[in-house]
Structure formats: C-alpha cells, structure tokens
Structure 1
Amino acid sequence: MSSETGHSGHSETTVTNRTVDVAVALVFMALAALVMADSVRVGMSWASDGPQAGYFPFYVGLIMFVASAVTVVQALVTRHPDLGNFVDRTQLKSVMQVLVPTTAYVGLIFLVGIYLASAVFIAFFMWWLGKYSIARILPVAVGVPLALFVMFEIWFLVPLPKGPLETALGY
C-alpha cells in the first residue's frame, strides 16, 4: 500500500477506502439483521386483515442486508481494490475535535439534562474552537438554552430531558 505525504512530509495514511467500505457495510448488515429479527418478533407475515406490523420493515431490512453483503463481497474479491487513503490525519483530527466533545455532550444530557449540557457545550466550543471572550460566551451559552427552554417547554409543551437543575426549579 502506498502512503500519501502531507505538507509536513510525514505519512498521512490512516485507513483505506476498502476497509471503511467493509466496516460500514458490516454495521449496516448488523442493523438490518436487528430490524429483521424484531420484525419476526412482532409478526412479518400477511394476516387476514393485511400485513402485520413487521411485514414491510422485514423486507426493507432484507434489502438492506443483501445490498450490504454485496458491498462486502465486492470490496473483498475485486481485482482492483480501492486502497486509497480514506482520510488523512489532518482531516481526522478535525472530525475528532467535533466528535469527541459532541459524544461527551450526549452523555452529559443524561446526567444533567439537555439545557445545562447545551450551555456547557456551547460555551466550550465558543472558547476552544472559536476563541471568543467570556463576555461573548456567557450570553450565548445561557441565552440559547434558555430560548430553547421557553420554546419547547412553555410554548410547545414538549418536555425535553431534564436534569437535577430543572427538577430543583420545579420543571
């Protein structure tokens, strides 16, 4: 496998396109198998009054499974596999700078609720990647979750995940 060099002259190779194709196809096959298994559980045949609840999801899952299996086979048995670099290290670093904090944000929602987690998330990104001053960060980090709270909880009456702060305030 040839390695590509970046601007700094060091290897930028991470993972091949073929590896990513196979990995994504295997994930889709697993999801499709889950959909098909649950469709069998709820009933996937034709009843006297029409299709059961799992009828259409089963066949969508089956199509998804077969298409993913074809992708795996094509990627593994082709005479000319795509061994090009899927992403270079600079691009991967940019993705991880967003993915890791976003994953932490999702986990934080379960601990402290969506509004406090959103305030922390917004403040963190504005400080870390935006390099904004605290005078600009605080109004946005407090104002956006507050506006979302008013819009969803009060105007639309749609409850979002609460944490201890909202519970303590009686919401």
Structure 2
Amino acid sequence: MGGGERAASYGTDGEGRPAQEVMRAAGLVTASFLMVLGGVVVFDAVRLGIGWSTDGPKSGFFPFWLAVLLIAACAVIGVQAVSRADARPFVGRAQLGPVLKVLWPAVALVVITQWIGLYVSAALYTAVYMRWIGRHSWLAVLAVAVLFPLATFFIFEKWFLVPMPKGPLEAWLGQ
C-alpha cells in the first residue's frame, strides 16, 4: 500500500456496489457537471469579448480564463476518478447530517431573500445558524443577528452605494 495506492474497498453503498465505484461515479459526475458549467461560461465570455481593448480587458476576459482553469481542473479530476481506485465512499451517512444541517439554512436564505429582502433574511439566517449550529447564548445571537445586517446595510447601501435586495421592512422604513 505504498506509493499512493489505496486499500481495496471496505464497504458498499447499501445497494451492493463497492464504495470505490460510488466514489468514482461521484467524481465523474461532479467533474462532468462543472466542465459543462465551465463551457457555458466560456461560451458567454466569448460573446462578451475576451480580448484586450484600449482601456483594459473586455468584460469576458477574466470569466473566460477562470472557466478555462475550471475545465482543466475538472479534466484532471475526471482522469483521476477513472484511473484511481478509491476505497472511500463519496459521503457517508454520518457525514451527510452535518452537511445538510449547513446546506438547508443556506438554501432557505437564498429563497426567502426574494420575499423579505437581504437584511432581514441575513438576520434570520445568522440567528438560526448561531443558535442551532453554534449553540451560542441568546444575547450573542441577538447582538450578531442585528449588528451584522446593520453593518452590511451601511457598508453596501451608504458607503459603496450598491443597492441590495430589499423586502417589505426596508420599504416600510423608507429605504
């Protein structure tokens, strides 16, 4: 087992497939999806222009090269997934719980931002995350859940003059 080789599979995915097949499939699916996404970005970046103009790079220059790097990295991951036998499952049942515990509040933040605005949803997200995941005291939760969105509001809306998504509370306050 020296030289970067791994031991044979030690388990299955619950459907009778060896763990290395599950890991290989997950690597290939992920690499393929991200390569397609990179291809979409390359296509759109070329549409915007990837060259250099008199005042600097065109709009698609940086997205183009970032997408090319993404595609190259995914190609390497795909080759590794095909050529390497990996005995570890992509994610175990014990690992999936904490991942979902972080993922669902983040998804909820994105969804509710459309209706209640960024600042209120950020306050709710921060409060839920700090209390549920971090198990912080209610005083700390309230302080951060109020101060963080306020700081974000002043930084983006007042200093940088960048409007962020607002909801009914901000409209009621006249913002």
Q: What's the TM-score, normalizing by structure 2?
A: 0.69
Show the counterpart of 1:19: 25
Identity %: 41
Residues 1:41 and 2:31 aligned together: no
Distance 2:60 2:97 in 1: 41
Unaligned 5+ segments in structure 1 are 5-12
Unaligned 5+ segments in structure 2 are 1-8, 13-18
Show the counterpart of 2:11: 3
Show the counterpart of 2:36: 30
| Cα-Cα RMSD | 3.4
Q: What's the TM-score, normalizing by structure 1?
A: 0.70
Distance 1:53 1:135 in 2: 46
Show the counterpart of 1:142: 146
* Residue type at the aligned position of 1:20: A
Aligned length: 158
* Residue type at the aligned position of 2:97: K
**Which runs of structure 1 show a deviation greater than 4 angstroms over 4 or more consecutive aligned residues?**
42-46, 51-64
Distance 1:21 1:85 in 2: 11
Distance 2:169 2:58 in 1: 44
* Residue type at the aligned position of 1:140: V
Aligned with 2:78 (options 65, 72, 78):
72
Distance 2:154 2:60 in 1: 39
Aligned with 1:81 (options 75, 78, 85):
85
Distance 2:32 2:134 in 1: 37
SS at match of 1:121: helix
